Amino acid sequence: MVTLNPERTGRPAVAIIVAGGTAERFGSSSGKQLAMVAGLPLLGHTLRAFDAASSVGLIVVVCPPDRVDEFERTAVEAAVLATGHAVVAGGLTRQESVRNGLSAIPGHRPESVIVVHDGARPLVTSELIDGAVATLLAEEDLCGLVVGHPAYDTIKTVVDRRIVATPDREGFWIAQTPQLFRRRPFEAAHAAAERRGFLGTDDAAVMEADGGLVWTYPGPRENLKVTVAEDLAIVEAVLSLKREREMTGSLRIGIGYDV
């Protein structure tokens, strides 16, 4: 069921938060999305960032089919969202889950931008979301944007553990989420991918395969995706620093020094 907030229906974007997956590498049977960090389920921090974004009028959470009620109760209600929202069942693949998220959007909705984001990237900011949405809307010929950053590390091509090449990293980017798309071309690209049996490695690949123009949009390296349990300590530290900065107007480094 979709819960709407009429005061936000005129906003240009719908967020699809992908919170499925088996989380095998995380090492917990309950998964990473509901792991507690800084007083809130991991997914709750992600949801609050989108709730604070002035461009987002609806948030659709896609989660494991057998845990819809649990995610609604544990993460969505805990986040106390002002933005309209829905929690829907995911599919067998990420691509199918995003398609399910698209199908959950009421047909009469005016939003023109779809913002797809990993639920396990809780350090995304409302400023990043709003800036990317504004950039996409300002470029008429643009179908999508992928948040990321240039590859800073040396890249190796490996076959069976053997390094076979060291390509020039110039031109390589590390793709993150959110990934943003104009709604109608994105829906058409998903329909075409389903007909052809195409499975992309990320959401932008679906648009690219249908010939849509996709650009990069610079994002911070700290916009990490929680993969293993140890990543929670990093998220906790960053959130604590942000909270201190918001409360005091300064960021303390070491002992006795304010920035």
Does the pLDDT of residue 217 top 60, yes or no?
Answer: yes
At 240 the pLDDT is 83
Q: Model confidence over 155-185: pLDDT tens digits?
A: 999 999 999 999 999 999 999 999 999 999 9
Strand pairing of 144-150 and 113-118?
unpaired
Residues contacting residue 47 through CB under 8 Å, at least 6 positions apart? 17, 59, 61, 75, 76, 79, 81, 85
**Strand, helix or coil at 70?**
helix
- Predicted confidence band of residue 28 (pLDDT cuts 50, 70, 90): low
Does the pLDDT of residue 66 top 60, yes or no?
Answer: yes
Does the pLDDT of residue 244 top 80, yes or no?
Answer: no
At 110 the pLDDT is 64
Does the pLDDT of residue 212 top 60, yes or no?
Answer: yes
More confident residue, 132 or 237: 132
DSSP β-bridge partners for residue 86 = 60
Q: Model confidence over 67-104: pLDDT tens digits?
A: 999 999 999 999 999 999 999 999 999 999 999 999 99
More confident residue, 55 or 2: 55
What CA–CA distance (Å, rounded) separates 143 from 207?
A: 8
Q: Model confidence over 95-129: pLDDT tens digits?
A: 999 999 999 998 766 679 999 999 999 999 999 99
Contact 8, 51 (CB under 8 A): no
Q: Is 109 exposed, middle or buried (0-12, 13-18, 19+ CB in 10 A)?
A: middle
Residues contacting residue 165 through CB under 8 Å, at least 6 positions apart? 156, 157
